[in-house]
A and B are shown apart, each in its own frame.
Chain A
Amino acid sequence: EAGVAQSPRYKIIEKRQSVAFWCNPISGHATLYWYQQILGQGPKLLIQFQNNGVVDDSQLPKDRFSAERLKGVDSTLKIQPAKLEDSAVYLCASRTQGYGYTFGSGTRLTVV
């Protein structure tokens, strides 16, 4: 079974620039999550999708972050404009049933 694919692996941008991350979940996994992991902290949920609908985006800073999951498969997370405090690893995870989460390797974002 192929894992959760994320790209890019690393990204360095200047503050106020925009950036986008891509996630391809495991085939057949209806639920997709984006987590933000700041250095020294645990992953924090940003948004949860069920198929192509948003289940929970209450912790997504909507003034600068947006996410979509077209056709219920791939997903993109965008930040515009980026701030220094957005420097983190952005993890995508997918789940089929129960608590069977599978995480991708993440995208490490550095905002300078």
Chain B
Amino acid sequence: AQSVTQLGSHVSVSEGALVLLRCNYSSSVPPYLFWYVQYPNQGLQLLLKYTSAATLVKGINGFEAEFKKSETSFHLTKPSAHMSDAAEYFCAVSDQGYSTLTFGKGTMLLVSP
């Protein structure tokens, strides 16, 4: 069975600082991995996806994530946080052969001036 663990329900950074949101997955086969962002009272928006091509994936709004098979990780980073990045971020995994995604519990990113 596939699962996702996001370390830290809340992460606080200052504007301009590095953003690092952690995601570890469990999958019996090479997975597909995704990061989504959710602003208050809205649906989820896809940030980036890993689908077995390049291990370093670039997404929207300056975010990127690196797939590390040996660490079963897919951490999300951004070099410099902006106030508009404050939102909740979800990591998700899908095994080959599955049509559904399993989501982590989310990490709330707080950005202070």
A is bound by B: no
List chain B positions with a Cβ less than 8 A from chain A: none
